[in-house]
Amino acid sequence: MNEFRLVQVADIHLGAGQEHHLDNWLKVAAWIGRERPDLVVVNGDLIMGDPDDEADYAFACVHIGQLSVPCRYLPGNHDIGDNVISGKMPKRVNDARRARFVAHFGEERWAFQAAGWGFVGLNSQLLGSDGQPAEAEQWTWLEHTLESFSDGPVALFLHKPLFLDHPSEPDHQDATLRQSCIDAASRARLLDLCRDHRVRLVSSGHKHQTRSFSLDGIYYLWGPSTACVNSPPTTLHWGTREVGFIDYRFRPDGFDHRIVGADFLFRHENYIRKYGAASE
């Protein structure tokens, strides 16, 4: 059978001197070493928190670089800064931070074909960049890439989800909700391309939650974090608060997926650590 096995890991959050998530990453890396998928997509937030922390970059490169299977990389807000229009973090995406990511991991977007599918990895942090030339370049690249694919289905990978409740939702006024997904104008443009070019799957990370649903012929999957879950349990969540990663198997007639890791990874509660820091 023509099958392509792809594993998405996201929100690894590896940091030098802050190794409280490293235990889970070592378990994930060992699982990947045993299972040997065809590809691992590292879908954003590779480093702990500060996009300008060179030590965290070096630390993440060492540990991710020990994987024994091919990898493709995409940046998240903690890697290259938050979106200019919809972000919340003080540090926003710019050319210098993008260049640092590419220098360490070799790419910020990619495309290829396998098992009858087209695969696209997009830099979601550039969306809504308020006129940065790199965003216009990426839109042009994306349009040409999708046009170049054959007639098969397409899987799109990016760090941030496209929306929280529905594609028609406006940009949220609350800063935390606004930074949870891409801005409304970018979403509308991206979804037009998805509808025109047979995109059947949108796979993201960022929210440290698992969620899967379909709408208008597209499956949307939120992959959990390998590192931790965020926010107290009483906070509104759109998905399931769990740790893990996604194991995909693509075939010309469709795909299967399963969430792996909840049964053997530590379910680190990130908000507890933040409470402790606030009380010191």
In order along its 280 residues, the chain shows pLDDT tens digits of: 599 999 999 999 999 998 889 999 999 999 999 999 999 999 999 999 999 999 999 999 999 999 999 999 999 999 999 999 999 999 999 999 999 999 999 999 999 999 999 999 999 999 999 999 999 999 999 999 999 998 999 999 999 999 999 999 999 999 999 999 999 999 999 999 999 999 999 999 999 999 999 999 999 999 999 999 999 999 999 999 999 999 999 999 999 999 999 999 999 998 887 775 554 4
Residue 218: φ, ψ to 5°: -120, 135
If phi over 0 gives left and psi between -120 and 50 gives alpha, with beta otherwise, what is residue 108? alpha
Give how many domains the chain has, as a whole number. 1
User: CA-to-CA distance for 206 and 159, rounded, in angstroms?
Assistant: 6
User: CA-to-CA distance for 172 and 165, rounded, in angstroms?
Assistant: 11
Structural domain boundaries enclosing 230: 4-279
Identify the CATH number of the domain in which residue 118 sits: 3.60.21.10
CA 88 to chain centre: 17
- For 96, what's the count of Cα atoms within 13 Å in the CB-facing half-sphere? 6
Locate the DSSP E strands across 87-232: 110-114, 117-121, 154-157, 199-204, 211-215, 218-222
Distances (CA, A) of 138 to 95, 120, 133, 242, 264: 13, 12, 9, 32, 38
Coil, strand or helix at 49: coil
* pLDDT at position 275: 72
* pLDDT at position 279: 42
Q: Which amino acid is at 172?
A: H
Give the chain's end-to-end CA distance (angstroms, integer).
57
Q: Which residue's structure tokens are 């792996």? A: 260
C-alpha dihedral, 196 to 201 to 135 to 90, nearest 10°: 150
- Enclosing H/E stretch for 249: strand 245-251
Coil, strand or helix at 177: helix
* pLDDT at position 1: 57
